[in-house]
Amino acid sequence: MTNPRIQKSDAEWKALLAEKGAEPAAFEVTRHAATERPFTGKYEAHWADGSYHCVCCGAKLFDSGTKFDAGCGWPSFSQAVPGAITEHVDRSHGMVRTETVCSNCGAHLGHVFPDGPAPTGLRYCMNSASLDFAPEDGQA
Ligand SMILES: [Zn+2]
């Protein structure tokens, strides 16, 4: 198991997220693998062009072009930026699921399921609170 490059204490993450103005749920979601309630996240039905980054460390995780409406109440993506996400087997809650964390800082993001659209067949089911959206980069 590889350790994330960025490691901070709970108090440090809490302070950093508060400073960034992250959602109140962001700390529990990203550092303690909580799950936000469905249909409550600000990015659940957010379709602007741009990219989604880790709310903790700013690493780019997804392009808006891979976001799709899975109807599950959480932001869903069919493909992650290569190398940006690390997967772990999660046996909590009596299920076997694949947890996804930020490769850079270890933030819990959500889970990935094998029932997404072609061509990947994957559904990255993310907590909105763990994401930070940036509009299309480059020249306007
Ligand atoms: Zn991160």
> In 3D, which of 89, 103, 118, 102 has the Cα closest to residue 26?
102
Domain 10-135 = CATH 2.170.150.20: yes
Tell me the two tokens of residue 85. 């996400």
pLDDT digits (tens, 9 = 90+) for 58-108: 999 999 999 999 999 999 999 999 999 999 999 999 999 999 999 999 999
Q: What is the pLDDT of residue 3?
A: 79
Using DSSP's 3-state secondary structure scheme, residue 49 falls into: coil
Surrounding residues of ion ligand 1, Cβ less than 5 A: 54, 56-57, 59, 102, 104-105, 107
Residue 140 or 69, more confident: 69
Is 0.95 surpassed by the pTM of this model? Answer: no
> 112 near 36, Cβ under 8 Å?
no
Taking only the tens place, the pLDDT of each residue in 1-42 is: 467 899 999 999 999 999 999 999 999 999 999 999 999 999
Is-catalytic flag, 125? yes
Ligand 1 centroid distance, CA of 57 (Å): 4
pLDDT of residue 140: 45
112 alpha carbon – ligand 1 mean position (Å)? 17
For residue 66, the CA-to-ligand 1 centroid distance in Å is: 19
The helix or strand, by DSSP H or E, that contains position 19, with its residue range, turns out to be helix 10-20
Task: Tell me, in angstroms, the distance from the centre of ligand 1 to residue 70's CA.
Answer: 24
Distance between Cα 133 and ligand 1 center (Å):
13
pLDDT at 136: 79
Cα angle value 40/42/47 (rounded, 5°): 120
- The DSSP-derived string for 63-85 is EGGGEE--SSSS-EES-PPTTSE
CA distance 72 to 135: 24
